[in-house]
Amino acid sequence: MPDHVQPDPDADGAAEIRIPDVSDGLIDRSVYTDPALYRVELQRIFARAWNFMCHETQIPNAGDYFINYIGEDQVIVVRGEDGTVHVLMNTCRHRGNALCRAELGNTKAFVCSYHGWTYGLDGKLIGIPGKADFYRDRIDQADWGLVPAARVDHYKGFYFATLDPQAPSLFDYLGDVGRVGMESMLAYGDVVVLDGVQKNVIDCNWKIAVDNLFDWYHVKVSHNSASRVGFLNQAAMMPMTQMVMLGELGHAIGGPMVTREEQAKIDALSDEERLAIDRLPDAERPKVAPTLRRPLRSTATKAAMGPVGVRASGHPNIFPNLWISTRGMQMSLRLPRGPAATEIWWFTVMPKSFTPEQRRAAKKFIIHSFGPAGLLEQDDGENWSQSTMAGRGVASRRYPHNMQMAMGQDEVMVDATGQKAIETRVNEHAQRWTYRCWAEWLRARDWPELMQTRSPSPTGRV
Ligand code: FES
Ligand SMILES: [Fe+2]
């Protein structure tokens, strides 16, 4: 079986392409449309990064599998006989056929539908029809197993994989800000990720879908209809009290914050009191809870998130494309499908401690929020699509996108614990940070070079 995938740093002409300068907050439209740049993104971002695969509760038993992607490489995430989670390229080593066609399920082995080569749960080739008669026994099965990811690891049950053996550990990759983001899903303790990932394709560049998750400027306008029918509480968005955390390698959190005063009131509550408030219906909570509809984090989560992170109530993005949303109860992957198409996946993250009533209410809220039938992403998708398409014209592509809001006008505050955040109003700091890190990923030939040249998490004026 091959050791792992071997990314070629110069594949796809990476050395020759022009990576636009984004440091002035002006984004050249080619970043959304250039097919050559897109190929390099697949190579130098997706094949290099730790990519989210699935949660442990989606594949609890031996033989359980879930299909996902690393860039455009389709992979099978499968639990082996001994409980180990494997991530294997979903492509037969004979003629490349996709082995597994179902999105999830349970199996004893993977049998290719073309000529019948059969692979075990660990990817080993365990059967070749006609091995003696047709191959005359002149094939070494051990050489033709499925190609595994270089490394697989999990953060508190959330599995990730990387194709690059030089990648840092998942823990280090996430860093402080990425870990705060992951912890935001654990506000109520252990979770289960429900079956039924919602999937749809939007004809936009994947980065437009990513940078929008930090964008609290569009909410009042794009989602006006959701507000008018009473689904969105615009006052609760608090555009004037926002927090941004910028993490190394491109992770970031941006959006509303819990103020210090509010946090002090929450800290005065016991876990039992917090739980009682969390169990109130949405309409009731704002009357008693100082943070309106946001989850009141448990003592354990508070400790893991740190004194600053616990007040970040906005949207985390785990670079490159994992968005954690909806009070930590939805996760979305923005999967690239060419420069002008993005497949959007929505996972539902349900706290195990929720009562049946809370579950029902959470599911209803989730289905109405994001996903193909949600009120919010339909508004967004149309805008992202038009923003992408308008980069194709020979005249329009000469005019960059403006991402300069609040540039040079805010200060990074450093807590005594070392956690950093910008406390401000609506801004575009996290968007600019995302593109700055994106450019660094593209310029670096490999992990050692990226680790040497990446920007440190900013301090001072930003
Ligand atoms: S392509 Fe899979 S067995 Fe031939
Ligand atoms: Fe939106």
Pinpoint the residues of the chain covered by CATH 3.90.380.10.
176-461
Minimal-distance CA residue to ligand 1 atom 1: 95
Pinpoint the residues of the chain covered by CATH 2.102.10.10.
49-163
* Ligand 1 binding pocket mutation candidate from 76, 91, 97 (most atoms within 8 A of CB): 97
Give the per-residue pLDDT at 365: 87
Q: How far is CA 316 from CA 68, 132, 245, 430, in A?
A: 21, 55, 9, 10
CB 431 within 8 A of CB 212: no
Q: Which two tokens stand for residue 189?
A: 């303790």
What one-letter code names the amino acid at 209? A
Q: Against a cut of 0.85, is the pTM above it?
A: yes
User: Does any ligand 1 atom lie closer than 6 A to the CB of residue 94?
Assistant: yes
Q: How far is CA 172 from CA 179, 248, 251, 262, 448, in A?
A: 9, 10, 12, 31, 14
Give the per-residue pLDDT at 329: 93
Question: Which residues have a Cβ under 8 Å from the Cβ of 376 and sit 6 or more positions away?
Answer: 223, 226, 232, 369, 370
- pLDDT tens track for 99-139: 999 999 999 999 999 999 999 999 999 999 999 999 999 99
CB 432 within 8 A of CB 403: yes
What is the CB neighbour count within 10 angstroms for residue 216? Answer: 21
pLDDT per residue, tens digit, the chain (462 aa), is 455 555 565 666 676 788 999 999 999 999 999 999 999 999 999 999 999 999 999 999 999 999 999 999 999 999 999 999 999 999 999 999 999 999 999 999 999 999 999 999 999 999 999 999 999 999 999 999 999 999 999 999 999 999 999 999 999 999 999 999 999 999 888 999 998 999 999 999 999 999 999 999 999 899 988 888 888 877 666 678 899 999 999 999 999 998 898 888 888 888 888 888 877 877 777 677 656 556 788 888 899 999 999 999 999 999 999 999 988 999 999 999 999 999 999 999 999 988 899 899 889 888 888 888 888 888 899 999 999 999 999 999 999 999 999 999 999 999 999 999 999 999 999 999 999 999 999 999 999 999 999 999 999 999
Q: How many CA within 13 A on the CB side of residue 137? A: 1
Place of tokens 């003696």: 132
Buried b (16+ CB within 10 A) or exposed e, 292-319: bebbbbbeebbebbbebbbbbbbbbbbb
* Ligand 1 binding pocket mutation candidate from 76, 111, 112 (most atoms within 8 A of CB): 112
| Assigned fold of 49-163 | Rieske Iron-sulfur Protein (2.102.10)
Distance 63 CA to ligand 1 centre (A): 21
Minimal-distance CA residue to ligand 1 atom 3: 115
Place of tokens 């876990």: 271
Helix (H) or strand (E) run with residue 78 in it: strand 73-79
- pLDDT tens track for 421-456: 999 999 999 999 999 999 999 999 999 999 999 999
Give the per-residue pLDDT at 320: 98
ω into residue 372 within 30 of 0, thus cis?
no
What is the CB neighbour count within 10 angstroms for residue 92? Answer: 22
What's the CATH class of domain 176-461? alpha beta
Helix pair angle (356-369, 375-389), 10° resolution:
30
3-state secondary structure 327-374: CCCEEEEEEECCCCCEEEEEEEEEECCCCHHHHHHHHHHHHHHCCCCC
Place of tokens 């955040």: 421
* Ligand 1 binding pocket mutation candidate from 90, 100, 114 (most atoms within 8 A of CB): 114
Q: Name beta bridge partners: 54.
A: 159
Cα three-residue angle 343-346-351, rounded to 5 degrees: 160
